[in-house]
Chain A
Amino acid sequence: MLTVTKPEVTMMPDVIEESRTIHSLLQSAMRWESGLVLLFVVSLIYGSSVSSYFFNVQTFFFAGLNFGEIAIMALPMTLIIITGEIDLSVGSMLGLSASILGYLFMHGWNIWLAMAICLIVGILGGALNGLLVTTFGLPSIAVTIGTLTLYRGIALIVLGSNTAVGFPASFTKISLPIGNTHIAYDFAIFVVLAIIFGVVLHMTPIGRSIYAIGLQGETAYFSGIRVKRIKFFLYVISGFLCAFAGLLYTFQQASSASDTGMGLELNVVAIALFGGVSIFGGRGTIFGVVLSVAIFASLQSSLTDVNVSAQVQSIVTGCLLLMSVLIPNAREGAGRFRAQLRRRTSGVS
């Protein structure tokens, strides 16, 4: 049997198999994402109908402006949620990084050195999360709620009620588009990072391991995947990018305070989930999250254009998020219902 005796059943021509695979792959991967594409188009049409400025390139690429940090933090969050964990300390980490930058700058530190310190703090903060979740085996939701409070507390001690201002113009200019283009800095950074994360998640052994961990952690471990190490590094990367987002945010606003980024963790999680990432782990794509970012950004920009208040905007956001949880469930429920119906009718006949 070990010699190559191909039986009929498996004699499937490779070409057909290949194209079928692509077909089914597209089918399964695109289902939620195609809904998102549709929604994105709708939001663009809506945006352009309510605001004559909407398709003005400048507004369009500036849509990222209030959104870049959230979008950047959503990338490592996506990977963490796919492994079946969560990181709720992202908003606080951003705030802590911004506060430390402000404090050090006000105390006359070299700006580059101050930035490096912030990034190191981000790495350490992420490592603490990772250590508690992996080595101590604590539930990540509890751990990161703890560090959410902890990091915000440290930020308060560092900067108190002060607001740091007066950052060099060569840094705060990132609130303007890059050079002569109409592209915002954070938008560009997000695109580059999204490509990197997309490649890692969908094409590398690490990405494959991340899915396996989220779907069946024990099997992953039994297959030689270093489950704890991967989770640990994801937290470290999350901490690092949140600290980085904190720097971006500070320079864009040209100021930093200890409450910077308060509550952002919920937006970040919302973006990931709306992008089709399963809160139970094992499912989700970077493409979906990118679409989710685009939809939220364009919606926010058009709703702001027509002077919809922030409160109403958050109601819209909330409804979208609920939809993202309900629709896949409803589809599954409908499938079950159909199957039941089939069984019943076949039983009668």
Chain B
Amino acid sequence: MEDEETAVSSGPADLNHVDSPAAVLVVEGATKFFGPVKALVDGSITLYPGEAHALLGENGAGKSTLVKILAGVHDADGGRMTLDGQTVRFSNPIDAREAGVSVIYQEPTLFPDLSVAENIFMGRHPLRSGKRIDRAEMMRRSRDVFERLGVQMSPSRTARGLSVADQQIVEIAKAISFNAKIIIMDEPTAALTEVEVQRLFDVVATLRKEGAAIMFISHRLEEVFAMCQRVTIMRDGAFVRTSAIGDLTIDEVIYSMVGRDIVSLYGDHTRTPGLNVLEVEHLTREGVFTDISFNVRAGEIVGLAGLVGAGRTEVARGIFGIDRVDAGSVRVMGQNLKSGSPLAAMRAGIGFVPEDRRQQGLVMEMAIDRNASLASIHELSRFGLIRKSSERKLASEWAARLQLKFGRFSNPVKTLSGGNQQKVVLAKWLSRKPRLLIIDEPTRGIDIGTKAEVHRLLGELVEQGIAILMISSEMPEVLGVADRILVLHEGHLAGEFSREDADEASIMRAAAGQMKASAS
């Protein structure tokens, strides 16, 4: 504790000394690969006691991977991590916690039926003789912690019914009771009201005064500027810069997060779209998305951008009939579509490649050819029996077109790589000759080579007159592939950009709710 207190006075004030011995945590060049996917190429960050440090980057920039390495969820493949000057390595979350690193997630997971105090001391209750839990001691210590934080909360109430903000406070209390030196907050304010955000800021200020280092991840740049002293920016899995917050403007931060001209990578293309294939009008699902209206024409790719949780996937699910919508209409080729029926959507000519391949796109244990034919089994049948030869023909035809790499068609689809699995999902829908393909995160978890193949395929499909609605969290993908970009912010359409007008900064601004819907 004494060390940390001296550090409070010297550390943050002396930010230019990157190698200052007062740094509590230094990560240098951390790497992490998932198969061929580089999730983190150069994760680097230095934290001082008593500072609030923002970690910024687009979706997929490697922030979460870095956090998970710090939290002991992932083991880094390379790089160096020192804590209080000593090299450390966390092989599990318990290691990390014991070393003083605590992570507060966006949606904490408390035991709802246990008291707040029991949640704080779960697994390490103070004991009396005979290994009995010392409830009085537990309550007393909990009350102490809340007092230190300046928060009103009864340690004896059950966790059930606590607001997300209060649950976060409980998690923070837990972290403090562990004497956490580093508290990482992963988008803590996403689900908070303004009052609650203010309270969180006060708590963070208290924690800083006590010498903890706070790492703060948020997409809300105003909050970052209001709360943090320093900022580290990442892009494409790599460290870009660390600066004092006063040295940067919001535009400079966005530029650093975006930082390159990607459009050229995808080649230039102008298409002349045909008739409306999909018309969505005033589509609303209470509490999820509101009054969404747009159209997709034959021969164009419309990108749906926005932050995680903005409601992009939910809109797609509403169109395809996975979820029932509360109001509004969906028309395909001028025909109204029945709400809440995937089968009706399929018959109208929609195909849906979902975000979660393993849970929604494929039957992992089922054979490759059977997965490819799963959406067309009725069409492949004669006299009620599936014609195996037609099924096999469908599979081999699409395997050739999509250059699927596989062993045998009868192998379970789980034996394929991520990219080839995605090709099977594509085959499943393309073999139905859809008029509209909705594709959610087309290249998530796919190696670079296959990614380019998928992008080229999407291009070829629209040339043939298919309409495509593509959801993507990867800005370069949206900008490079889409002809028109819609941006969602908290369930509302927050902007529409043509390919020519779109750039990363303006889309980011719209996605962060910094721009009023003008085009739509």
Contact = CB atoms under 8 A, between A and B. Distances in A.
4 residue pairs, one from A and one from B, having the closest CB atoms: A205-B377, A216-B363, A224-B343, A224-B346
A203 B363 contact: no
A223 B378 CA distance: 12
Contacts of B411: 24
A222 B342 contact: yes
Contacts of A204: 381, 384-386
A14 B409 contact: no
A218 B457 contact: no
Given A208-B374, A211-B363, 19 more contacts: A10-B400, A14-B396, A24-B410, A204-B386, A205-B384, A205-B386, A211-B366, A212-B374, A215-B363, A215-B365, A216-B362, A218-B360, A219-B359, A221-B322, A222-B322, A222-B360, A222-B361, A223-B374, A223-B428
Contacts of A199: 385
Contacts of A10: 396, 399-400, 403-406
Given A204-B381, A216-B363, A1 B343 contact: no
15 contacts: A1-B403, A1-B456, A10-B400, A14-B396, A17-B408, A20-B410, A24-B411, A205-B381, A205-B384, A208-B377, A212-B366, A215-B364, A216-B362, A216-B365, A218-B360
Contacts of B343: 224, 226
A83 to B, nearest CB: 13
A279 to B, nearest CB: 15
Interface string B67-84: 000000000000000000
A209 interface: yes
Contacts of A17: 392, 396, 408-409
A4 B400 contact: yes
A23 to B, nearest CB: 9
Nearest to B393: A14
A209 B376 CA distance: 11
Nearest to A22: B410
A320 B25 CA distance: 59
A4 B354 CA distance: 26
B64 to A, nearest CB: 24
A222 B351 CA distance: 10
Interface in A1-42: 1-2, 4-7, 9-10, 14, 17-18, 20-21, 24-25
B351 to A, nearest CB: 10
Given A1-B453, A20-B408, A203 B385 contact: yes
A219 B361 contact: yes
A131 B374 CA distance: 26
B: contact size bracket: 35 or more
Nearest to A221: B342
Contacts of A7: 400, 403
Interface string B458-494: 0011001000000000000000000000000000000
Contacts of B148: none
- Main secondary structure on A side of the interface with B: helix
Interface of B: 322, 342-343, 346, 352, 354, 359-366, 370, 374-375, 377-378, 381, 384-386, 392, 396, 399-406, 408-411, 428, 453, 456-457, 460-461, 464
Contacts of A220: 363, 374
Contacts of B403: 1, 7, 9-10
B360 A219 contact: yes
A1 B381 contact: no
Given A9-B403, A21-B409, A222-B361, A1 B457 contact: yes
Nearest to A220: B363
Contacts of B322: 221-222
A94 B400 CA distance: 53
B42 to A, nearest CB: 28
Nearest to A283: B365
Listed residue (A7, A21, A220) with the most chain B CB atoms within 10 angstroms of its CB: A21
A282 interface: yes
B517 to A, nearest CB: 31
A146 B245 CA distance: 64
A202 to B, nearest CB: 9
Contacts of A211: 363, 366
Contacts of B370: 208
A17 B363 CA distance: 22
Nearest to A7: B403
A25 B366 CA distance: 12
A208 B386 CA distance: 9
Contacts of B346: 224
A96 to B, nearest CB: 32
A25 B410 contact: yes
Nearest to A205: B377
A205 B381 CA distance: 7
Contacts of B410: 20-21, 24-25
A42 B327 CA distance: 65
A18 B401 CA distance: 20
A209 to B, nearest CB: 7
A219 B401 contact: no
Contacts of A25: 410
A216 B359 contact: yes
A6 B400 contact: yes
B377 to A, nearest CB: 4
A199 B385 CA distance: 8
Nearest to A212: B363
Nearest to A5: B400
B396 A222 contact: no
B401 A209 contact: no
B17 to A, nearest CB: 43
B365 to A, nearest CB: 5
Contacts of B405: 9-10
Nearest to B378: A205
B87 to A, nearest CB: 24
A1 B401 contact: yes
Nearest to B432: A224
Contact of B460 (A1, A4, A5): A1
Contacts of A6: 400
Contact of B401 (A4, A21, A203): A4
